[in-house]
Amino acid sequence: MPLGLLDARDEAERALLIEAGRVLFAQRCEFYYASQRIDQLPPVTLPEVAFCGRSNVGKSSLMNALTGQNALARVSHTPGRTRQLNFFNLGDTIGLVDMPGYGYAQAPKSVKQDWQGLMFDYLRGRPSLRRVLLLLDARIETKASDHMAMQLLNTAAVSFQIVLTKADDAKPFWLKQRQEEAQKLVRKYTAAHPLVLTTSSEKGTGIDEVRAEIFSLTLG
């Protein structure tokens, strides 16, 4: 079995990974823990994949689309609403972690320090963390806070994979530019996974591929 879609030698192997991802995400996914402080993290029982990105980038929408549960992760149009680490158990196989959004300029300084500090402490210190899915909005340019997040992940040697979100709302020419930019970014950082994924939670674009990549993290 290949370790990811990039390792698939032919379409048959790719199809097997896609199907394995579908089966994984057909299992029950339940919220089981929330942490507002690094000393309140749940015990390590499963490998984990974390969803990280700027406030309102679409983390909750993507998690809902992956699991087929419209209310699994709360969707809000108010940036900065998630201020804790939310842990979900997917079929007793892997943990999904919804992380606080970063880069919300209007949040009070003390609040930003609290929840962003928790996020970065988790990234640096969680032994069960297999990969961070770093979400970038396909409709807008990469922000300084995104670059800072990538630098931190790279310095901490935390494997991360860029996932472009809201692709259905991006003009084709602009989306192509964003994809090319993302490819340049992954070549810049040694901790970056080389495969960039493009998604739309609204249209279902790329959902199968994200599921397959997450399945691959359960293999070893």
CATH of the domain at 174: 3.40.50.300
Number of domains within the chain: 1
> Which residue carries 């949040």 as its tokens?
107
How far apart (Å, rounded) are the C-alpha atoms in residues 100 and 112?
10
The CA–CA distances, whole Å, from 218 to 47, 200, 214 equal: 7, 24, 7
Going residue by residue through the chain, which has 220 residues, state the pLDDT in tens, using 9 for 90 and above: 457 898 888 999 999 999 999 999 999 999 999 988 778 889 999 999 999 999 889 998 999 999 998 877 654 344 444 568 899 999 999 999 998 888 654 444 544 455 566 777 888 788 999 999 999 999 999 999 899 889 988 988 999 999 999 999 999 999 999 999 999 999 999 999 999 999 999 999 999 999 999 999 998 7
DSSP element (H, E) containing 207: helix 207-216
Q: In terms of pTM, does the model score above 0.85? A: yes
Rg for the chain, CA atoms, rounded: 16
d(C-alpha 210, C-alpha 220), whole Å: 17
Which residue range is the domain that position 64 belongs to?
A: 5-216
Separation in Å, CA 17 to CA 21, 162, 175, 193, 196: 6, 19, 26, 17, 17
